């Protein structure tokens, strides 16, 4: 193609766009000139156009290798929609039948088709190779090129065959495109495709409109998410979970809380999946709960939040998934939940894999953990991970920048680290170096004889927790780097060597703590603390009601129920039923007075009720409960019910107690009479009538050990059922 072709005109003519985005034009010119080209552009940057437009201008047919069949169809439709004939673009993949394949081939042969999308496994089929040999190929475009590398987040072995296949078909310029690639992945791609001289076009990976935050994953994560969604009502969002099971569970919890949510994962049939996608695009659904299977083909510009329920397996995946937020440049909130426990679970999972895979998986996971735990600007960390330097002091759009930690001097610590890296000949990874610095003679260290070096244990006196952040931040600051070939080996940079010669101040921030016991803290931060004044009033009311009904107070409502009322402020029977331990029966029987009291209290004290906090949980065993109630109605012996449900007897009693506590009446007399003496039943029953607690250990003690715990529990069920419900 000629140099002076007016590309902007062509862009307007074919695609209707007025100007190019980012580097599109230079990229296109480079390809038109017949050069190999490497494009790194964030999701939504407009990569497809970099091969679509050239294909229309070049002689022959451009071959696009792309992993996703759904995506191909989409792009082909778009291309054909612009042209007069519906055959400018075609695809070849396993979804086509024989006659469609022949049609496609005919169009290509007649030179009507300028762009042919091929799945990698179709490309390497012998008959397709034979066919493609006979046509003029204008270029090969390898989309989602990171699939070539095992160090990418979506390795596909078929991608490894692309180069040999291309060699068979015939030479033409290659353009590789991806939205995520670390130095390592980039070098893998170039090497594998044999395009080491390709000109590289790398746009900034900085998505200024995205806000990054890592929250510690607590017991309350569901509530936390529900609150977040309610605070962003009617906005579109995606929640990523690692397992299908979690996807289903969380979607159900959200639905139960009146959030328009739907699950999405590869285990659902394709009709359901495409319906869900449609609903999301058309905004009939606000929130998609998904495994990573969702989103690759989705081009919804106004996704306002992306939540990671579980820690992602790699930062590439994380960046890719968060990248689906705010494509239109508007708000994009990216919240990830992180816990050490999750990390360990993932590590276990990795342990099950083969050697090399295991090693790679662990390295990638460690990078994610370092990101999550660090107090450094999230943007800086992410960009550094993708080989880009972010020099701003404060990005004002991540949790760490909005709540900066005080810095501390780490000059001496950095010196220790750098010397240690040199001492072990720049041949080891972070964990090894840290053990070395701490003076831990691990088997590995001993086998290398490193425990005999002077530098071994040089950091013994320092705070243990400092080494990870020092190394991480030394990498970001450029004193250290990770080797690309042997990924992860710590190497000293020139500025690291200069630092050793003349050390100077090195300020760092300590990592965030992620211990699991956050219950108290989240309660405070979500404002859901117990209202002591209301709690006292509720207790008094319960006492009055109990006296009036001549039953012990706990029969009315359990303490935990009152506590929750003093947190959630339910003011009508519907809301009251969301309180744990309050079912329909109890709400109807005793609820009114309690709701009235709460409402009076709220009005008198100007209390804003935490509406979004009223989280409805989905009873996981609700199926079980229904079955149990039905079985008891049919007077099936309890031990039989336990065995058909394959739970043990005590678990069954737990279930029955939960049913009764929430206000459903159950009559288990048929069973009691069968297994217990009438006197004993009466004795225990009487005890509960007069006791002021229904605590089982207390009852066992008070009843002088005459009865077994099971017997006491059984009678308590009868008692609660009759008195309270």
> What counts of helices (H) and strands (E) characterise the chain?
35, 17
Site for ligand ADP in 168-197 (CB under 6 A): 179
Shortest separation between residue 41's beta carbon and ligand ADP, angstroms: 5
**Cβ nearer to Mg ion, comparing 48 with 400:** 48
Site for Mg ion in 30-89 (CB under 5 A): 47
**Cβ nearer to Mg ion, comparing 44 with 439:** 44
**Cβ nearer to ligand ADP, comparing 120 with 583:** 120
Q: Judge contact between 350 and 362, C-beta under 8 A.
A: yes
Among 10, 21, 156, 523, binds ligand ADP (CB under 6 A): 21
**Cβ nearer to ligand ADP, comparing 24 with 30:** 24
**Cβ nearer to ligand ADP, comparing 303 with 659:** 303
Three-class secondary structure of residue 141 per DSSP: strand
**Cβ nearer to Mg ion, comparing 273 with 327:** 327
Angle formed at CA 117 by CA 111 and CA 120, multiple of 5 degrees: 130
Q: Which of 282, 236, 239 is nearest to 274 (CA)?
A: 282
Shortest separation between residue 45's beta carbon and ligand ADP, angstroms: 4
Reading the block at residue 559, the tokens are 């303490």
Reading the block at residue 355, the tokens are 């050697």
Shortest separation between residue 31's beta carbon and Mg ion, angstroms: 16
260 binds ligand ADP (CB under 6 A): no
Shortest separation between residue 179's beta carbon and Mg ion, angstroms: 7
Q: Which of 214, 261, 236 is nearest to 327 (CA)?
A: 236
Interface stretch with ligand ADP, choices 19-27, 261-269, 429-437, 569-577 (CB under 6 A):
19-27
300 binds ligand ADP (CB under 6 A): no
Contact partner, 120, from Mg ion, ligand ADP, none, Cβ < 5-8 Å per class: none
**Cβ nearer to ligand ADP, comparing 46 with 173:** 46
Among 45, 469, 585, 663, binds ligand ADP (CB under 6 A): 45
Shortest separation between residue 17's beta carbon and ligand ADP, angstroms: 4
- CA 247/CA 244 separation, integer angstroms: 5
Cα distances (angstroms) measured from residue 668 to each of 232, 536, 675, 719: 47, 35, 11, 10
Q: Which of 618, 619, 615, 616 is nearest to 227 (CA)?
A: 615
Contact partner, 49, from Mg ion, ligand ADP, none, Cβ < 5-8 Å per class: ligand ADP
419 binds ligand ADP (CB under 6 A): no
41 binds ligand ADP (CB under 6 A): yes
Q: Judge contact between 65 and 162, C-beta under 8 A.
A: yes
Site for ligand ADP in 47-76 (CB under 6 A): 47-49
- CA 435/CA 437 separation, integer angstroms: 5
Shortest separation between residue 73's beta carbon and ligand ADP, angstroms: 14
Tell me whether residue 694 is exposed, middle or buried, using C-beta atoms within 10 angstroms of its C-beta: 0 to 12, 13 to 18, 19 or more.
buried
Q: Judge contact between 386 and 319, C-beta under 8 A.
A: yes
The two beta strands, 507-508 and 408-409, are antiparallel
Interface stretch with ligand ADP, choices 38-46, 390-398, 484-492, 586-594 (CB under 6 A):
38-46
Sign of CA dihedral 458, 463, 464, 465: negative
Shortest separation between residue 507's beta carbon and ligand ADP, angstroms: 38
* Pattern 124-163, ligand ADP, x by CB under 6 A: ----------------------------------------
38 binds ligand ADP (CB under 6 A): no
Q: Which of 365, 396, 406, 398 is nearest to 381 (CA)?
A: 398
Strand partners, 294: none
Contact partner, 60, from Mg ion, ligand ADP, none, Cβ < 5-8 Å per class: none
247: left (phi over 0), alpha (psi -120 to 50) or beta: alpha
326 binds ligand ADP (CB under 6 A): no
**Cβ nearer to Mg ion, comparing 299 with 460:** 299
Contact partner, 21, from Mg ion, ligand ADP, none, Cβ < 5-8 Å per class: ligand ADP
Shortest separation between residue 328's beta carbon and Mg ion, angstroms: 17
Number of residues engaging ligand ADP in binding (CB under 6 A): 14
Count of CA atoms in the C-beta half-sphere (13 A) of 69: 8
**Cβ nearer to ligand ADP, comparing 24 with 149:** 24
Shortest separation between residue 11's beta carbon and ligand ADP, angstroms: 6
Any idea of the CA torsion for 676, 679, 685, 687, to the nearest 10 degrees?
Answer: -120
Sign of CA dihedral 333, 334, 338, 342: positive
Q: How many CB atoms lie within 10 A of CB 300?
A: 17
The two beta strands, 115-118 and 89-92, are parallel
Among 1, 10, 14, 17, binds ligand ADP (CB under 6 A): 17
**Cβ nearer to ligand ADP, comparing 143 with 373:** 143
Three-class secondary structure of residue 243 per DSSP: coil
**Cβ nearer to Mg ion, comparing 47 with 265:** 47
Number of residues engaging Mg ion in binding (CB under 5 A): 1
Three-class secondary structure of residue 509 per DSSP: coil
CA 131 to chain centre: 43
Phi, psi of 114 (to 5 degrees): -95, -25
Contact partner, 44, from Mg ion, ligand ADP, none, Cβ < 5-8 Å per class: ligand ADP
- CA 553/CA 537 separation, integer angstroms: 14
332 binds ligand ADP (CB under 6 A): no
**Cβ nearer to ligand ADP, comparing 45 with 583:** 45
**Cβ nearer to Mg ion, comparing 47 with 215:** 47
What contacts 608, CB < 8 A, 6 or more positions away?
none
Shortest separation between residue 248's beta carbon and Mg ion, angstroms: 29
**Cβ nearer to ligand ADP, comparing 230 with 300:** 300
Reading the block at residue 423, the tokens are 């001492």
- CA 560/CA 232 separation, integer angstroms: 30
Among 7, 46, 538, 671, binds ligand ADP (CB under 6 A): 46
Cα radius of gyration (the chain) = 32
Using CB under 5 A, list all residues that contact Mg ion. 47
Q: Which residues bind ligand ADP (CB under 6 A)?
A: 17, 20-21, 24, 41, 43-49, 179, 299
């Amino acid at each position: 193609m000629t140099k002076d072709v007016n590309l902007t005109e062509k862009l307007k003519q074919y695609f209707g766009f007025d100007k190019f985005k980012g580097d599109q034009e230079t990229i296109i010119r480079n390809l038109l000139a017949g050069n190999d080209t490497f494009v790194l552009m964030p999701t939504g940057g407009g990569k497809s156009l970099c091969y679509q437009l050239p294909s229309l201008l070049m002689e022959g047919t451009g071959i696009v290798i792309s992993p996703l069949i759904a995506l191909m169809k989409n792009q082909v439709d778009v291309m054909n929609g612009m042209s007069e004939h519906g055959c400018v673009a075609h695809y070849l993949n396993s979804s086509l039948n024989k006659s469609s394949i022949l049609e496609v081939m005919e169009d290509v042969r007649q030179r009507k088709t300028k762009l042919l999308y091929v799945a990698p496994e179709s490309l390497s089929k012998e008959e397709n190779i034979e066919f493609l040999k006979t046509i003029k190929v204008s270029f090969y475009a390898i989309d989602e090129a990171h699939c070539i590398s095992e160090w990418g987040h979506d390795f596909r072995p078929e991608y490894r065959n692309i180069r040999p296949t291309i060699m068979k078909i015939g030479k033409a310029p290659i353009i590789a495109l991806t939205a995520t690639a670390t130095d390592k992945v980039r070098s893998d791609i170039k090497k594998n495709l044999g395009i080491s001289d390709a000109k590289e076009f790398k746009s900034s990976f900085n998505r200024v409109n995205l806000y990054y935050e890592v929250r510690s994953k607590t017991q309350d994560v569901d509530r936390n998410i529900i609150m977040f969604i309610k605070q962003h009502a009617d906005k579109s969002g995606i929640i990523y979970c690692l397992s299908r099971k979690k996807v289903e569970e969380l979607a159900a919890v959200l639905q139960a809380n009146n959030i328009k949510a739907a699950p999405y994962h590869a285990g659902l049939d394709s009709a359901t999946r495409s319906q869900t996608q449609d609903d999301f695009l058309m905004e009939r659904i606000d929130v998609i709960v998904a495994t990573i299977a969702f989103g690759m083909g989705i081009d919804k510009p106004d996704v306002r939040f992306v939540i990671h329920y579980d820690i992602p397996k790699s930062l590439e995946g994380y960046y890719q998934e968060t990248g689906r937020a705010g494509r239109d440049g508007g708000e994009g909130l990216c919240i990830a939940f992180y816990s050490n426990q999750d990390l360990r679970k993932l590590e276990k999972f990795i342990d099950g894999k083969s050697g090399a895979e295991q090693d790679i998986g662990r390295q990638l996971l460690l990078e994610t953990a370092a990101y999550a735990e660090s107090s450094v600007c999230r943007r800086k960390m992410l960009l550094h991970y993708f080989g880009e330097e972010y020099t701003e002091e404060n990005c004002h759009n991540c949790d760490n920048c909005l709540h900066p930690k005080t810095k501390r001097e780490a000059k001496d610590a950095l010196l220790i680290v750098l010397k240690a890296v040199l001492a072990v000949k720049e041949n080891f990874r972070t964990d090894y170096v840290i053990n070395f610095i701490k003076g831990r003679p691990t088997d590995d260290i001993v086998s290398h004889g490193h425990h005999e070096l002077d530098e071994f244990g040089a950091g013994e006196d320092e705070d243990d927790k400092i080494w990870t952040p020092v190394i991480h931040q030394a990498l970001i600051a450029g004193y250290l780097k990770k080797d690309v070939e042997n990924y992860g080996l710590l190497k000293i940079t020139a500025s690291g060597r200069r630092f050793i010669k003349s050390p100077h101040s090195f300020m760092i921030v300590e990592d965030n703590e992620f211990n699991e016991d956050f219950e108290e803290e989240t309660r405070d931060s979500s404002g859901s603390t117990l209202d002591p004044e209301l709690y006292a009033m509720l207790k008094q009311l319960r006492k009055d009601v109990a006296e009036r009904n001549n039953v012990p107070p706990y029969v009315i409502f359990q303490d935990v129920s009152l506590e929750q009322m003093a947190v959630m402020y339910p003011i009508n029977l519907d809301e009251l039923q969301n309180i744990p331990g309050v079912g329909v029966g109890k709400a109807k029987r005793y609820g009114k007075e309690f709701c009235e009291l709460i409402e009076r209290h709220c009005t008198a004290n100007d209390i804003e009720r935490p509406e979004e906090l009223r989280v409805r949980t989905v009873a996981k065993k609700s199926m079980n409960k229904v079955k149990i109630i039905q079985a008891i109605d049919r007077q099936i012996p309890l031990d039989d019910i336990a065995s058909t449900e394959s739970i043990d007897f005590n678990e069954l009693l737990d279930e029955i107690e939960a049913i009764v506590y929430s206000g459903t009446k159950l009559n288990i007399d048929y069973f009691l009479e069968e297994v217990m003496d009438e006197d004993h039943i009466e004795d225990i029953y009487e005890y509960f009538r007069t006791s002021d607690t229904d605590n089982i250990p207390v009852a066992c003690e008070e009843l002088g050990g005459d009865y077994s715990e099971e017997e006491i529990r059984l009678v308590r069920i009868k008692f609660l059922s009759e008195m309270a419900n």
